Chains A and B, each alone.
Chain A
Amino acid sequence: MQLEKLVTDLHPPLTSHEASVESDRCYFCHDAPCITACPTGIDIPMFIRQINTGNPKGAAKTIFTQNIFGGMCARDCPTETLCEQACVRNTAEEQPVRIGELQRHATDSLMQSGEQPFKRAADSGKRVAVIGAGPAGISCAHRLSTYGHEVVVFDSRSKAGGLNEYGIAAYKTVDNFAQQEVDYICSIGGISFEFGKKLGDSLKLANLVQEYDAVFIGFGLASVNELSVPGADTEGVVDAVSFISELRQADDYESFGQSIGNPQDVVVIGGGMTAIDAAMQSRLLGAANVTIAYRRGYEHMNASEVEQHLAQTHGISIKPWLQPKAIHSNNGRISEIEFASVKLDNGELVETGDSRRIPADRVYKAIGQSLSPDALSIAGLELKGGRIQVNDERQTGHASIWAGGDCIGNSEDLTVAAVQDGKLAAESIHQSLS
């Protein structure tokens, strides 16, 4: 009975009248703090005013000019910590303008019309390789295409979209939205894809640098951090990202649930949005008990308060200050997970001496991702904190290589930040090619 909710919008789209009323709440602030709070710098007051004056297509163009993934960001941005957090209505009445939902209203209207707001410039004769068909790569490809450059996008998977397609909860992108969006963005032309191409195998960075005028790397974080506790290799201990990815690609959720044994006692380890997405979808698949265990406090979770609240109001228990110690099994099957209680002591996590066990027939690890070892060995690229180092223009130390998205050093691990990286890199590439 919950399966339906897996693919139902958390917030149904605003009706025209709702959009009219909500857009009227915007004060059209001067030097608006919401614009500053948006990683892509969308002119939010302007697009909201355009909605209010019955010009939703103009609104969509305002959004897409800064953020070509405005449709997805309207769905999965943690607006409560970005634009809406900065809305002056918070000060006035603790109720920000619903910017995310208005953005969806505007972008939906243009995307549904199929109209592409941008025209490709005349062919420049320059070719750019983009590695990774996620938000960073496609954002970069689109902006380059507007300048007339030809772009070839390589991706190890069989579909474009990156984490939009493989890494976020289904209810954030219903009706195959991630694919529709990529198709819409790429309808500008000049962008082609080569799937099943992973850097390191058949694809050599050195060759790309030779064959193309510039290279953009946006391949994300392909490795999942390991849980190093006894029993971590027991069957039923799974990466949350793999679980989400398989679920997203499943044709039939009922069969998918059966294929993983319809787990009833799910424990998710981690405190980010991936943890929430894994927990929520487990619950909607039918698990009776879903627990998120996090080693620090609620306030330290990367998942916003709104995301935490979403989980808690769906019967998910979030238990803070628990550090995994061991995974116990019974007849080769996972049965319990043991945690040590921890606390902060002078900034260090220390065990309090208490421990607790939570029954589990499935454990999802959502404790972060990192650059794959292959990627780490890419010659000539400096790393910082295990990620690729870039300058403000998203250029690496190599003169013809740019990078963006989760794989770079200053990444915020957000779709919207990846889109901005791709856009800035494209502008910088265009400058260098002109």
Chain B
Amino acid sequence: MATLESEFAGIKSPNPFWLASAPPTDKEYNVNRAFEAGWGGVVWKTLGEDPHIVNVNGPRYGAVWSSDRKLIGLNNIELITDRPLQTNLQEIVRVKKNWPDRALVVSLMVPCEEKIWKDILAQVEDTGADGVELNFGCPHGMSERGMGAAVGQVPDYITMVTEWCKQNSKLPVIVKLTPNITDIRYPARAASVGGADAVSLINTVSSIVSVNLDTMSPEPSIDGWGSHGGYCGPAVKPIALNMVSQIARDPETDNLPISGIGGITNWRDAAEFIALGAGNVQVCTAAMTYGFRIVEEMQTGLLNWMEEKGYSSIADFVGSATPNVKDWQDLNLNYVAKAKINQDLCIKCGRCHIACEDTSHQAITQTVNGERHYEVIDKECVGCNLCVSVCPVESCITMDQQVSGTDERTGQPISSEYANWTTHANNPASNSSG
């Protein structure tokens, strides 16, 4: 029997699904409901100094929808908790007492002064919470005041504050990173240097979701004006997956536990983050879209898949896909694939043809003997996968590897030997050139 039990940065939880620091974890009431639904842990909505901040009194969210109003991406301009510090701390005490088996991590964001961090860390420690997460990620509002992403964008500050926290608290320290940087490895390394027990990522992406073309105001609109917010939900998952893998592959951080965040909506998303190196995952938008009950699907889905694959614990497959993430220059240039269209499945929409004809390599027919008929012309096909991407029928077009013979397009024989760009004749820096 496989188990979902999780230990992340020394913090135990019955499953790897935590709720991220966000509105769902702002109050005792919500967190109790989350734990009743089965969530393994929560990161309490970010605490700050008193007097507590205030939020706008108008809309805080903006959305990107599909035609059927499926929420693809969500943007928010909400700040950290807008309740008094003591109220939050008292609730945290009660929740932890009532749910001893669940992970309860407290997110923190205060100005960059050691004394202020020291004070709040002591108060959090007194609650019995399992750890702290340093919010160096929020891209809106707080960053204008020198906190959140403003810290996360300066690696030296990350190291400095992380060090203060490690020196002033016994609790595990998770550093939450902003994706609004050029190379995620630098802030991750800075956290590691500061002694962080783990990093969590990604926080939200700076964004404007839409513009109201009648009022010319960005959405969400506050009295006719808008401000950039933080983007999250399914749309940001690919950005997050890449950043997780970059940290997991980096020799300077490859031992640093990672809590994966960003558009995780179901068990499969979670499994992908874990396979790329995350030790657990945090969820927010999916819960805000569907409610807490989704964790049931996440638990059963992940467990069934693990049993099917023979994994007995989460640790069994953490980072299993990481070694397969490479630099482009390492990819095998002798690997040749060609698209193949299954004529029995083809519904003759012609999308593959027009995509290839207009925007790619003119490698798919439109008609054969006067009839609409879509077939790959191997002599032209570069194996780019665009046709697969635009085909509306699952498995109708496949990319079949050519293992022998000649590549009709290049006239070169298919080689089973591995060869990459570093040794390619066209590479001016090639080891074998000249």
Our count of residue pairs bridging A and B at CB distance below 8 angstroms stands at 40
Contacts of A91 in B (CB 8 A): 347-348
Contact indicator B349/A27 (Cβ below 8 Å): yes
Contacts of A29 in B (CB 8 A): 348-351
Contact indicator A88/B349 (Cβ below 8 Å): yes
* Chain A residue at minimum C-beta to C-beta distance from B350: A30
* Chain A residue at minimum C-beta to C-beta distance from B392: A27
Mask of A23-65 contacts with B, CB within 8 angstroms, 1/0: 1100111111100000000000000000010000000000000
Contacts of B350 in A (CB 8 A): 29-32
Q: Is A11 an interface residue (CB 8 A)?
A: no
How far is A30 from B372 in the complex, measured between Cα atoms in Å?
A: 10
Contact indicator B348/A88 (Cβ below 8 Å): yes
- Contacting A24 at CB < 8 Å: which of B68, B349, B353, B372? B68
Q: Is B221 an interface residue (CB 8 A)?
A: no
Count residues of B near A (Cβ-Cβ below 8 Å): 15
How far is A32 from B348 in the complex, measured between Cα atoms in Å?
A: 9
Contacts of B351 in A (CB 8 A): 27-30
Contact indicator B347/A31 (Cβ below 8 Å): no
* Chain B residue at minimum C-beta to C-beta distance from A51: B67
Known contacts A88-B349, A91-B347, A91-B348; A31 and B366 CB within 8 A of each other = yes
Contacts of A24 in B (CB 8 A): 66-68
Contacts of B66 in A (CB 8 A): 24
Contact indicator A30/B366 (Cβ below 8 Å): yes
Q: Which of A1-20 touch B at CB < 8 Å? A: 17, 20
How many whole Å from A261's CB to the nearest CB in chain B? 51
Mask of A72-96 contacts with B, CB within 8 angstroms, 1/0: 0000000000000000110110000
How far is A91 from B396 in the complex, measured between Cα atoms in Å?
A: 13
Contact indicator A23/B67 (Cβ below 8 Å): yes
How far is A17 from B347 in the complex, measured between Cα atoms in Å?
A: 27
How many whole Å from B307's CB to the nearest CB in chain A? 32
Contact indicator A20/B68 (Cβ below 8 Å): yes
Contact indicator B67/A20 (Cβ below 8 Å): yes
Contacts of B349 in A (CB 8 A): 27, 29-30, 88
Contacts of A33 in B (CB 8 A): 348, 372
Contact indicator A92/B68 (Cβ below 8 Å): no
How far is A21 from B70 in the complex, measured between Cα atoms in Å?
A: 11
How many whole Å from B125's CB to the nearest CB in chain A? 51
How far is A21 from B69 in the complex, measured between Cα atoms in Å?
A: 9
* Chain A residue at minimum C-beta to C-beta distance from B354: A30
How far is A89 from B393 in the complex, measured between Cα atoms in Å?
A: 10
How far is A89 from B354 in the complex, measured between Cα atoms in Å?
A: 18
Mask of A117-153 contacts with B, CB within 8 angstroms, 1/0: 0000000000000000000000000000000000000
- Contacting A92 at CB < 8 Å: which of B67, B354, B372, B393? B393
How many whole Å from B343's CB to the nearest CB in chain A? 12
How many whole Å from A336's CB to the nearest CB in chain B? 51
* Chain B residue at minimum C-beta to C-beta distance from A93: B347
Q: How large is the interface on A (under 10, 10 to 19, 20 to 34, 35 or more residues)?
A: 10 to 19
How far is A17 from B67 in the complex, measured between Cα atoms in Å?
A: 8
* Chain B residue at minimum C-beta to C-beta distance from A53: B67
How far is A21 from B65 in the complex, measured between Cα atoms in Å?
A: 12
How many whole Å from A393's CB to the nearest CB in chain B? 25
Contacts of B372 in A (CB 8 A): 31, 33
How far is A89 from B69 in the complex, measured between Cα atoms in Å?
A: 22
How many whole Å from B326's CB to the nearest CB in chain A? 35
Contacts of A30 in B (CB 8 A): 349-351, 353-354, 366
Contact indicator B366/A21 (Cβ below 8 Å): no
Mask of B343-362 contacts with A, CB within 8 angstroms, 1/0: 00001111101100000000
Mask of B18-36 contacts with A, CB within 8 angstroms, 1/0: 0000000000000000000
Contacts of B366 in A (CB 8 A): 30-31
Known contacts A20-B68, A21-B67, A31-B372; A92 and B392 CB within 8 A of each other = yes
Contacts of B393 in A (CB 8 A): 92
How far is A21 from B67 in the complex, measured between Cα atoms in Å?
A: 5
Q: Which of A24, A33, A88 has the most chain B CB atoms closer than 10 A to its own CB?
A: A88
- Contacting A21 at CB < 8 Å: which of B68, B347, B348, B353? B68
How far is A30 from B349 in the complex, measured between Cα atoms in Å?
A: 6
Contact indicator B69/A92 (Cβ below 8 Å): no
How far is A78 from B349 in the complex, measured between Cα atoms in Å?
A: 22
How many whole Å from A83's CB to the nearest CB in chain B? 15
How far is A196 from B377 in the complex, measured between Cα atoms in Å?
A: 64
How many whole Å from A378's CB to the nearest CB in chain B? 40
How many whole Å from A26's CB to the nearest CB in chain B? 10
Contacts of B68 in A (CB 8 A): 20-21, 24
How many whole Å from B331's CB to the nearest CB in chain A? 32
Contacts of B353 in A (CB 8 A): 30
How far is A29 from B392 in the complex, measured between Cα atoms in Å?
A: 10
Q: Which of B307-354 touch A at CB < 8 Å? A: 347-351, 353-354
* Chain A residue at minimum C-beta to C-beta distance from B358: A30
How far is A323 from B66 in the complex, measured between Cα atoms in Å?
A: 55
Contact indicator B348/A52 (Cβ below 8 Å): no
Contacts of A32 in B (CB 8 A): 350
* Chain B residue at minimum C-beta to C-beta distance from A23: B67
How far is A30 from B356 in the complex, measured between Cα atoms in Å?
A: 12
Contacts of A17 in B (CB 8 A): 69
Q: Which of B156-170 touch A at CB < 8 Å? A: none
> Which residues of B pack against A, CB within 8 Å?
66-69, 347-351, 353-354, 366, 372, 392-393
Q: Can you report 21 A-B residue pairs in the complex whose CB atoms are below 8 A from each other?
A: A20-B67, A21-B68, A23-B67, A24-B67, A27-B349, A27-B351, A28-B351, A29-B349, A29-B350, A29-B351, A30-B349, A30-B353, A31-B354, A31-B366, A31-B372, A32-B350, A33-B348, A52-B67, A88-B348, A89-B347, A91-B347
> Which residues of A pack against B, CB within 8 Å?
17, 20-21, 23-24, 27-33, 52, 88-89, 91-92
Q: Knowing that A30-B349, A92-B392, A92-B393 are A-B contacts, what are 6 other residue pairs whose CB atoms are under 8 Å apart, sorted by A's residue number? A: A30-B351, A31-B354, A31-B366, A33-B348, A52-B67, A92-B347
The 4 closest A-B pairs by CB, nearest first: A24-B67, A30-B350, A30-B354, A91-B347
